[in-house]
A and B are shown apart, each in its own frame.
Chain A
Amino acid sequence: MSRRSGCARDLEHKGEKYIRISVKIEEGKIREVYIRGDFFCYPEDAIERLEKALVGRRPEEIPEVFREAMEGVELLGIRKEELLKLILEVSTCP
Chain B
Amino acid sequence: MRGEWRLLVHGPLTGPENMAVDESLLLEAEMPTLRLYTWSPTTVSIGYFQSLSETVNLAEAERRGIAVVRRVSGGGAVMHQELGEVTYSVVAPVELFPGSIRDSYRRILSGIVEALRLLGVEAEIQGFQDVVVGGRKISGSAQARKRGWILQHGTLLVDPDVEAMFSVLRVPGLKLSDKGLREARKRVTSLYDLNVDVSLADVQGALIEGFSRALEMDLQEDHLTPGEEKKAEELVIKYESEEWLRKRP
Contact = CB atoms under 8 A, between A and B. Distances in A.
Contact of B50 (A16, A38, A44): A38
Nearest to A16: B127
B48 A44 contact: yes
A8 B127 CA distance: 34
B38 to A, nearest CB: 23
Contacts of B76: 17-18, 38
A40 B127 CA distance: 13
A42 B145 contact: yes
Given A42-B101, A42-B145, A36 B50 contact: yes
A10 to B, nearest CB: 11
B75 A40 contact: yes
A15 B172 CA distance: 12
B49 A47 contact: yes
A37 interface: yes
Given A12-B172, A14-B173, A76-B128, A40 B50 contact: no
A18 B173 CA distance: 10
A41 B51 CA distance: 15
Q: For chain A, give the interface size range.
A: 20 to 34
B152 to A, nearest CB: 11
Nearest to B102: A76
A9 interface: no
Nearest to A22: B51
Interface residues of B, number: 24
B19 interface: no
Nearest to A19: B49
Contacts of A12: 172
Interface centre among B75, B128, B143, B146 (most CB of A within 10 A): B75
Contact of A14 (B74, B143, B144, B172): B172
Contacts of B74: 38-41, 44, 76-77
Interface centre among A14, A18, A34, A40 (most CB of B within 10 A): A40
B142 interface: yes
A46 B50 CA distance: 15
A65 B173 CA distance: 31
B49 A38 contact: yes
A37 B101 contact: no
B154 interface: no
Contacts of A77: 74
A48 to B, nearest CB: 9
A47 B145 CA distance: 15
Given A38-B77, A40-B101, A76-B128, 7 more contacts: A37-B50, A40-B75, A41-B74, A42-B145, A44-B48, A74-B101, A76-B102
